[in-house]
Chain A
Amino acid sequence: MSAPIQLRPDETFILNVGPQHPATHGVLRVKMEMDGEYIVKAETVLGYVHRMHEKMGENRTYAQYLPNLSRLDYLGALGYTHGHVLAIERAAGIEVPERAEYIRAITVELNRVASHLFWFGAFVMDLGGFSPLMYAIQDREHILDMLEAVTGARLTYCYYRFGGLYNDVDDDFIEAAKRFIPRMRKSLKKYAALVTGNIIFQKRLEGIAPVSAEMCRKYGATGPVARGSGINFDVRKNEPYSVYPEFDFDVPVYHECDSMARYKVRMDEMEQSLRIIEQGLEKLPSGPIMTEKKPKNIKLPVGDFYQAVETARGSFGIRIVSDGDKNAYRLKLRSPTYSNMHLFDEACEGMLIMDALAFMGSLDLVIPEMDR
């Protein structure tokens, strides 16, 4: 009879999470060196859905690049297209009518709520609760129906144009949005009772996966991840753009630095977005939705232009270097989840694997946006 195999006490093994794994919500691979159930070292491997969006921006005209922006983050696409049109408009000196900017802000905020709702559902599902996903999708469906009625698409919108919008919103949209706000507020209460108050949920998130403000700064994390670590930074407040200065809203910040803090930031953000939508609908001016002289064949002046916007996942920046031609000389997209993901490797050292997967969910990853 042979003796049982003796493991060395310091023996570790490699565990591959992904590239096809339900918890990564996309083609992301994390190579983990494990000591039992504890992570010794993690290494994120990106690039499985890299589609060269930056290069495409360099060999297409500015207008032809419009549909690309909504293919980065398919859950909150309008925020990204907003950044793009703002960058071009500022660089080319195009005036945008007020009504168009208001409609942009309203639709972006609706899209942010939709994105957070889907994240909420998927996050709770990662932790083992299935019903909240169904409820969240039902609420999100109302937003998608509204957005479909104005933009013609449900996910990959191509609605904003340089100098305005593709088409105006109608009374039906305004009515539907007004009906949606109280409905969503009721749902948020339901989610608070069903999920936030749930003992299992709390025990799995509270005090787990601390990300210090220091680490956020080191990796350039923004959005709800940074705000869950006590960094009060929101591009809408810190570098105001569009009509955001006209709205009265708060930036939720939590100082606990754990997964629960990141969860709470997003849940509070939905309420703030509803406030913005409410005010936007109230103040919505009448008038044109496109500048008088619709810009065609846009050429930017020679120079270097940058515009940052706050999307559902954090600060998205677009940098355009122009040599005066009708397409960009160099186009750079700074995507928020790319930076947010990078603190994962350092933060999950010594963590239990199930906590690490919950932590990954709390970062709100969208892989196509990370890889671009």
Chain B
Amino acid sequence: MGGYFSDIFNGSKSLLIGMGITFREFFKPTVTVQYPYQTLKMSARFRGHIELIADEEGNPKCVACGMCQRACPSGCISLDSVSVDIEVDGKVKKKKVLSKYDLDFTKCSLCGQCVENCNFGAIDFSKEYNLASTRKEDFHFNLLKRLEERNA
């Protein structure tokens, strides 16, 4: 019989302690961010989809070596290059110029192998996270075009 009453007493006490904690939490400042009205700044190393980096003249640094394409586990990157003649010191030389750089972001796992394997520092992660669409095609990025748009 004694156990019965002490059970009731201890049980009620534990419930009151719990209620005290939740009551105190009630008056703590709100920490939730009201997205999309408020947004947070992404940290410096946040990995968004990859983006081409331009040199001083605004041309892509990429030399179309294809290392990133080979390193990618999911085959997201497809690139192409054209050979153009340029004149250096009066001599005509052939140079590979990037003509296409497409990223299929639907398959990307943001692993960073492409960025790591590029010896020319030509790609980096963007801070883009507002990506939402009901169409798959919206995640096929033409990175060369995006670079031109940024330059313009």
A contact set with B: CB distance below 8 Å: 60, 63-68, 71, 131, 135, 138, 141, 145, 148-153, 156, 158, 161, 166-167, 190, 193-195, 197-200
Contact = CB atoms under 8 A, between A and B. Distances in A.
Contacts of B15: 198-200
Nearest to B32: A138
Interface of B: 7, 10-12, 14-15, 17-18, 21-22, 25, 31, 43-47, 71-73, 109-113, 116, 125
Given A145-B43, A151-B45, A199-B14, 15 more contacts: A64-B113, A66-B111, A66-B113, A67-B110, A149-B44, A152-B112, A156-B109, A161-B116, A166-B116, A193-B18, A193-B21, A194-B17, A198-B18, A199-B12, A200-B15
A68 B111 CA distance: 9
A28 to B, nearest CB: 24
Contacts of A167: 45
A195 B18 CA distance: 7
Shortest 3 CB-CB distances between A and B: which pairs? A199-B11, A152-B47, A64-B73
A199 B43 CA distance: 43
Contacts of A65: 73
B73 A194 contact: no
Nearest to A149: B43
B25 A131 contact: yes
Contacts of B11: 199
Contacts of B7: 199
Contact of B17 (A63, A67, A141, A193): A193
Contacts of A145: 43
Q: Taking chain A's interface residues, is the majority helix, strand, or loop, or is none over half, making it mixed? A: helix
By CB atoms of chain A within 10 A, which of B12, B22, B125 has the most?
B22
A24 to B, nearest CB: 26
Given A64-B113, A193-B18, A150 B73 contact: no
Contacts of A149: 43-45
A114 B68 CA distance: 33
A152 B44 CA distance: 8
Contacts of B47: 152-153
A161 B45 CA distance: 16
Given A63-B113, A64-B113, A65-B73, A138 B31 contact: yes
A63 B71 contact: yes
13 contacts: A63-B71, A63-B113, A64-B73, A152-B45, A152-B125, A153-B47, A153-B110, A158-B110, A166-B116, A167-B45, A190-B21, A193-B17, A198-B14
Contacts of B125: 152
A102 to B, nearest CB: 19
Nearest to B19: A194
A368 B105 CA distance: 22
Given A194-B18, A197-B14, A199-B14, A150 B113 contact: no
B46 to A, nearest CB: 6
Contacts of A151: 45
A67 B43 contact: no
A28 B7 CA distance: 38
Contacts of B12: 199
A198 B84 CA distance: 75
Nearest to A161: B116
Given A65-B73, A158-B111, A194-B21, A152 B116 contact: no
A199 B15 CA distance: 7
Contacts of B111: 66-67, 158
A193 B19 CA distance: 10
Contacts of B10: 199
A92 B15 CA distance: 57
A210 to B, nearest CB: 22
B74 to A, nearest CB: 8
Nearest to B116: A166
A358 to B, nearest CB: 18
Nearest to B31: A138
Nearest to A63: B113
A141 B32 CA distance: 11
A121 B111 CA distance: 29
Contacts of B14: 197-199
A99 to B, nearest CB: 18
